[in-house]
A and B are shown apart, each in its own frame.
Chain A
Amino acid sequence: MELILARLQFATTSIYHFLFVPLTLGLSLLVAIMETMYVRTGNETYKKMTIFWGKLFLINFIMGVVTGIVQEFQFGMNWSGYSRYVGNIFGAPLAVEALVAFFLESTFLGLWIFGWDKLSKKAHVTTIWLVAIASNLSAFWILVANSFMQEPVGYVIKNGHAEMTSFAALLTNPNVWYQFPHTVLAGFTTGAFFVMGISAYHLLRKKHGDFFRRSFNMGLSLGIVSLLLVLVMGHLQTQHLFQAQPMKMAAAEALWNDANPAPFTLVAGIDQKDQSNSFAVQIPSGISFLLYYSLAGGVPGMKTIQAQEAAQYGPGNYIPPVGTVFWSFRVMVAAGGLMLLAVLLAWYYKRKGRLEDKAWLLWAFLWAIPLPYIANIAGWVMAEVGRQPWIVYGLQQVQQAVSPNVSAGAITASLVGFTLLYGLLAVADVYLLTRTAKEGPETEATSKPVTVVEGVSLWN
């Protein structure tokens, strides 16, 4: 019972946290580019863009920060068995993240928000670049930590726990170098679709045309590049995962039995109890082709891997919840496909100079804002659920990781508390983002300082 509740709490708080992180990664980069354009061209539109998108960035950023503190604390709170077992290794990247990235990000963000009149233009634009770099650096260290859970390297088991033997091995963990670019590029995609969606809304209303045309185009350029690269990285990562975590990928493909050639399954009716699929729509040789660029090539099924892992780690069930892994993978890929279609269409019509005549496409971009979020969450669900029953692949299972002394009542109380708090904050956050986004950039009249008391003025 405690285990289920602790897992539910981790899922809730982590998914919620990751609603905000990708936008921080992507939007910090876009805002930094906008301000750079302002500094280089002196065009006031770019300054207004920096301020407008910067305001939305800040509303989102703080949600990522405060929910991130929960992430750091909850390993100790709910997963003390895990913390004791791998703290030697897992704690280090978290501490380094704070020292190297989070200090930088927070300090220079403060300078950026309050430094408009106190710093030179060049110094000011440098602060937002440091924020953007630090956010992405932060992602790197977190993914170093997560990669150890996916693919443990550079350790030895000693005195009943894992000890680090090579910090370099942690940093060169192959999983990091697939997962980090994949995650960061997904963040850039999220930022691009956020900017394109809101810009499309204003372009439809034919307001602030120049402002939102420039914004949309910036989002589009970043969106196309990031999406294509995400696709490439995702493909390479999948190939790697078939080697490093075969069970996760066999589950993601609902592949129960060994297959040669292995088909790609589009949809399937999954029966976990019976270890079979009631039906499946498949592309013959699909997986073999993606893995080996050949129509033939063997891929082990879940039953084989189960037998291998049982022989290696002792009796037990090593098959994750297949339906969840299978469908989250498909949801992620489908959302990615839709996004790619949208940016390619936008690119085509923009080249013909007819983008703004295509109201349906602009509407599609507004409604596409959730797509990257869906893909991001689905991707993490696949990565984390696909690793079950392991918390650290091959080293520790979740039931050994959970805090032995925390009662179901305590977890329930905090779970209910977090859910209520997060729910209310989500309402406030969406309300604030929507209102701010709809209002659009400030017009000349409101951006002038208003005198409130003699000799001093107030910027709104």
Chain B
Amino acid sequence: MELSVLWFFLVTVLFIGFFFLEGFDYGVGILVPLLGRDDTERRLLLNTIGPVWDGNEVWMITAGGAMFAAFPNWYATLFSGFYLALFLLLAALILRGVAIEFRSKRDDLAWRDLWDWLLCAGSLVPALLWGVAMTDLVAGVPIDAGMNYVGSFWNLVTPYALVGGLLTLFVFTFHGSVFLTRKAPRELADRARRTAGRVGGVAILVFLLMIVFSYAKGVIFDKAGAGAVFGVAFLALVLANWLVRKGSTGWAFVLSGLTVAGITLANFWDLFPRVMVSSLNPAWSLTVYNASSAPYTLKIMTITALVMVPIVLVYQGWTYWVFRKRVSTRDLEY
């Protein structure tokens, strides 16, 4: 296999890991001020992701770095093209990170309330934008012969892309609420379960709409494999909802994770071997071949990744093991 193809696969894996992990972080972030009725409850909810959210976010940093190193043209076209959307994403991520770290450093309730709502907004915006971006990637955007995006911000905000955004928003929120049923103290976990039921229902409807829309546009379902994975993701979501209702939240979490992974995989599958689709002329699309780095760089990157990724997985996994128990007020930090 060519190294550039391997790196497309690795970037896909990084995004799956990122959305799986940060997906529930975003979900919890959105739910903190909505589910938590007082300060202690909000702290408890936040502390379910407290020890891990920052490490989870590094999956995004790594995916970005991997794109830059392995596919400089993909990185350059995507980031300069989706300029204002990325600015919004960055602003949201900045507010979100600062909110998590700052909110409990003062006793003032107004201070904490302000940061909790900023956390909610700062989690909601990226959860929506990632779906919009992923949908734009597969649907195609105006790219000229020189690999430059020639549209405006509004070319990205199509009805189809918005449905894609709503899909990740609701799926991530569902994923987060299922996560809370496992990690939050009992009373809050019960509340999270009821929320999961409602959010999950909406997620199923949005997913159905997305399937119809995609099929009509000839996107995702134009490739049997991608379409099948997308279908499996939908079934996983339905099953996860049923399991939440039944009370087997552990399996529900596995399946909500599978939903996240399936949606991501289906999109990247549909993309391959293209990395950015030109809506102006199929010949102007960027592919793993014309967007990638030279073999030497890819070789260096491959060795680094093969050594480091397993190590990272081991110590991140160990962190989850250390914090495997439900959060209690005994160990609040944020």
Contact = CB atoms under 8 A, between A and B. Distances in A.
Given A59-B101, A76-B78, A110-B51, A457 B329 contact: yes
B72 interface: yes
B59 to A, nearest CB: 9
Contact of A87 (B72, B90, B93): B72
Interface stretch (B60-68, B163-171, B196-204, B225-233): B60-68
Interface stretch (A25-33, A162-170, A308-316, A368-376): A162-170
Interface stretch (B264-272, B273-281, B293-301): B293-301
B75 A99 contact: no
A421 to B, nearest CB: 6
A279 interface: no
B84 A413 contact: yes
Interface string B72-83: 110111111101
A406 B91 CA distance: 19
The DSSP consensus for interface residues of chain B is: helix
Given A100-B304, A106-B58, A425-B94, A113 B51 contact: yes
Contacts of B91: 417-418, 421
A436 B332 CA distance: 18
Interface string B101-141: 11001110000000000000000000000000000000000
A167 B58 CA distance: 24
B305 interface: yes
B333 interface: yes
A209 B330 CA distance: 31
A118 interface: yes
A60 B150 CA distance: 39
A110 B308 contact: no
Interface stretch (B29-37, B175-183, B311-319): B311-319
A91 interface: yes
A59 B98 CA distance: 8
Contacts of B65: 72, 91, 94-99
B304 A96 contact: yes
B161 interface: no
Contact of A114 (B40, B93, B331): B331
B61 A102 contact: yes
A243 interface: no
A99 B308 contact: yes
A76 B67 CA distance: 10
Contacts of B330: 117, 449, 456-457, 459
Given A76-B80, A80-B76, A428-B98, 4 more contacts: A99-B62, A100-B304, A115-B51, A425-B94
